[in-house]
Amino acid sequence: MSDEPRGAPAPDSASVTAKPPASEQAWEDGGTVAQSIEPPPPRPSASSGGRPPALPPGPPSDGGGGDEEDGMLRMSFMEHLEELRSRIIKAIFGLGVAFVVSLTFADRLWTVVSEPAVIALKHLGANPPKLAMIQPMEGFMIIWFKLPLLTSIFIAAPWILYQVWAFIAPGLYKRERRFAAPFILTTAGLFITGGLFAYFIAFRYGLEFLLGIGMMNNVQPVVTITEYFDLFVNVTLGIACVFELPVLIFFLTLIRVASPRFLMRHSRYAILGIVIIAAIITPTPDVFNLMLFAIPMNLLYFMGVFASYMLVLRREGRRLPWKWVVLSCFGAIVLAGGVLALLILRYHYRVVPHWPFMVR
């Protein structure tokens, strides 16, 4: 007698056999990939107003911005070397063109460069007021090679600085590339201004002082063109490089190494360092020529601090307090006018149409 209940249908052999998993069935049917067994996303509840749930926030941005990175050139190490080589060749080519142009005016340039020596020797009563040439090659090397080369450095300064900027510009953001024209004009302008200041002011007074020391003791000066030109190059290029101080301060602020508050807080140490540097590069040991170097360098330092302050204001989205700037400029003008009136009325100075513009 069977143990199966009455009325129960007999189990079919097909139903007794276990069905294969969906993945195996799909593989047997056509080799398709098994469907995902992840549960479907939950339906929006009534409390959420029928809206889908908000997505999780993405990773925080580093502040670079996709728009600012547009146009940034990605180069390998060898490509950087190729770019550097190309910029150096272009800079040398521009320097060569300026050298050829300067070479055509070599005689006139030497007349201009030797003028401070001639004037100083005339003031000191030297006879004849001329420079000496001891070696046969001195005239050729100085007048026809070194002098045009020095002149070409000043003429090609904007082009060389442009090549420097063009080399570093691909790695800058868009907002940083806007400093291209101000960087080139300011840096080249300060370099040329420093050379002019050295020629018209510092070198003339220093040279006359140095020549006068010997002539006071019955010494006849014999100045060779080599020694004279070496001193001229040292003073001119030295002061021209010192005039780049505002650009250096601005760059240090741009890369967040220095700040206007830090520079002003330690300005007394900066002034002391500037006086020491001026004493080193001054060709004479007297205080007057020391001040000729130290005062413009201190003015350049505070110009750099002001440019640094402007950069910080722009970075923080603030505006310049023009009221205090105007009042400060007005106070400086009033102070300068008071000093001028004191020199004229009390010390009997008078104004003349040539440097130093005031004589007693």
pLDDT digits (tens, 9 = 90+) for 23-40: 444 444 444 444 444 555
Would 274 be classed as within a structural domain? Answer: yes
Contact residues for 248 (Cβ-Cβ < 8 A; gap 6+): 304
Would 139 be classed as within a structural domain? Answer: yes
Would 14 be classed as within a structural domain? Answer: no
Q: CA-CA distance, 210 to 241, in Å (whole number)?
A: 23
Do residues 223 and 124 share a domain?
yes
pLDDT (tens digit per residue) in 94-118: 999 999 999 999 999 999 999 999 8
Question: Is pLDDT at 357 greater than 90 in this prediction?
Answer: no
Do residues 273 and 305 share a domain?
yes
Would 3 be classed as within a structural domain? Answer: no
Do residues 316 and 239 share a domain?
no
Least confident of 136-140, 230-234, 287-291: 287-291
How confident is the model at residue 77, as a pLDDT? 75
> What's the chain's average pLDDT?
78
Contact residues for 81 (Cβ-Cβ < 8 A; gap 6+): none
Q: CA-CA distance, 267 to 270, in Å (whole number)?
A: 5
pLDDT band for position 14 (cuts 50, 70, 90): very low
Do residues 132 and 189 share a domain?
yes
Would 184 be classed as within a structural domain? Answer: yes
Whether residue 148 contacts residue 109, with contact meaning beta carbons closer than 8 Å, is answered with yes
How confident is the model at residue 326, as a pLDDT? 81
Choice between 10 and 249, residue whose per-residue pLDDT is larger? 249
Q: Which two tokens stand for residue 154?
A: 């000043």
Do residues 91 and 238 share a domain?
yes
Do residues 86 and 149 share a domain?
yes
Token pair 């056999």: residue? 17
Do residues 233 and 299 share a domain?
no
Rounded to an integer, the average pLDDT of 206-233 is 83
How confident is the model at residue 109, as a pLDDT? 93
Do residues 227 and 268 share a domain?
no
Would 234 be classed as within a structural domain? Answer: yes
Token pair 């950069």: residue? 311
How confident is the model at residue 52, as a pLDDT? 52
Do residues 110 and 233 share a domain?
yes
Whether residue 195 contacts residue 232, with contact meaning beta carbons closer than 8 Å, is answered with no
Do residues 238 and 281 share a domain?
no
Beta-bridge partner residues of 132: 224
**In the chain, what is the straight-line distance between the N-terminal and C-terminal CA atoms, in Å?**
147
Token pair 């603030």: residue? 318
Do residues 296 and 203 share a domain?
no
pLDDT (tens digit per residue) in 298-347: 889 999 998 888 888 888 878 777 777 788 788 888 888 888 888 788 77
Using the Cα atoms of residue 232, residue 235, residue 236 and residue 237 in order, give the sign of their dihedral: positive
Choice between 215 and 198, residue whose per-residue pLDDT is larger? 198
Q: Which two tokens stand for residue 49?
A: 């107003």
Least confident of 170-174, 207-211, 230-234: 170-174
Would 54 be classed as within a structural domain? Answer: no
Do residues 316 and 328 share a domain?
no
Domain count, the chain: 3
Among residues 184, 213, 243, the one where a domain terminates is 243
Would 59 be classed as within a structural domain? Answer: no
For residue 352, the enclosing domain spans: 322-360
